[in-house]
Amino acid sequence: VVGYLQAYERRWAESEAAFAAALALDPNHADTLVMSAEMLMWDGRIVEARDMILRAFRLNPHPAGWYFWILGMVHYAAGRYDAAIDTLRNEATYRSGSRKVLAAALALVDRDREARREANIFIANNPQFSLGRWAASQPARHLVVVQYFVEGMRKAGLPD
């Protein structure tokens, strides 16, 4: 958790050190693997992120909903939109904030009606949401990764 919080404070070296220390203590801690996978994704290291999160799923056969959220984001970042859609429609995460990524994935495979529907439901539950605030709050070292998500979310109809 310390590594996760440090990433959101853009303290990259400290974040990496915290994740490395946690995984050195317990290389099979599934929650740490998922959080670390998200940070790898935001760093543009998509293949490593995918491998790490799939390992977490093997270690934890009954994962919390946020595992599916992060896996859906990793699929999205890899351009695997159908896999992202399937993952983000998993009952464990479907009615959460992951819906904005689901809307983006649907938009990028030209399922515009479904994308708009998911975006509208997300906005109804999150009326203060804006792409600008969301993008600024992400722990990405490289803005191109964030922009990739923003493009899909914008196409789905989420507000700037």
* pLDDT tens, residue by residue, 53-72: 999 999 999 999 999 999 99
Mean pLDDT, range 124-140, rounded to an integer: 97
Domain count, the chain: 1
- In this prediction, residue 142 carries a pLDDT of 84
Which residues neighbour 87 within 8 Å (Cβ) at sequence distance 6 or greater?
Answer: 68, 71, 72, 75, 93
Mean pLDDT, range 141-150, rounded to an integer: 94
pLDDT at position 105 over 90: yes
Which residues neighbour 6 within 8 Å (Cβ) at sequence distance 6 or greater?
Answer: 12, 14, 15, 18
Q: Are 122 and 99 in contact (CB under 8 A)?
A: yes
CATH assignment at residue 29: 1.25.40.10
- In this prediction, residue 119 carries a pLDDT of 98
Note the pLDDT tens digit of each residue in 8-56: 999 999 999 999 999 999 999 999 999 999 999 999 999 999 999 999 9
- In this prediction, residue 108 carries a pLDDT of 98
Query: Which structural domain range is residue 137 located in?
Result: 2-156
Q: Average per-residue pLDDT in the chain? A: 97
Location of structure tokens 């923003």 = 150
